[in-house]
Structure 1
């Protein structure tokens, strides 16, 4: 029996749907944050089902532990400490650390 998730256009379509869901999450957040969180959950499920990585800019917009859509200043704290950006989810307290940038010599 053939695997239906491996068709040629399914991964491209999955990437497009993930991008659309994150755009909708940004639209919905001021009115209803629960809808934004649901959009993130759906995007993650689509990515896992089709084995598609979520792009780096989109990946940094949600908490990896609780799948909450993060908005700096509203439900996320952003700090720079020792060459790293530290994003703290205010819903669950999880901290994500990213390097600030590459050094050019």
Structure 2
């Protein structure tokens, strides 16, 4: 098997592991939030090592500043302000703004 196939196989396995780690993070949160943060850190590390992008739905599940796992109402606050969704991390106060609507060309 060539190197190109090995790389794509490794990236596929890494993507699956990232999904599993975020599932585990959501399951661990009620017991111990630090375990959830550790799962997020491991998932980020895997993505960086294999040079793959985090899936879009997972990118919004952790803070970009402190890398804490987001649980709505507990570790994050969501508001709508001037056609933007503002997500505030309750641990570090970092604010992330997303457009509420997408412009269709």
TM-score of the superposition, structure 2-length normalised? 0.90
SS state of the match for residue 21, structure 1? helix
Q: Deviations over 1:51-72 (max 9, x none)?
A: 0100111000000010100111
The number of aligned residues is 101
1:54-69 paired onto structure 2 within 5 Å: 54-69=54-69
Partner of 1:96: 96
Superposed CA RMSD: 1.6
1:103 Cα offset (Å)? 4.8
Residue-by-residue CA offset, 1:64-103 (whole Å, 9 max, x unaligned): 0101001110011100111111000010110011111225
Unpaired segments ≥5 residues, structure 1: none
* Structure 2: gaps spanning 5 or more residues: none
The SS at the match of 1:98 is strand
1:34 is aligned to 2:34: yes
TM-score, with length taken from structure 1: 0.90
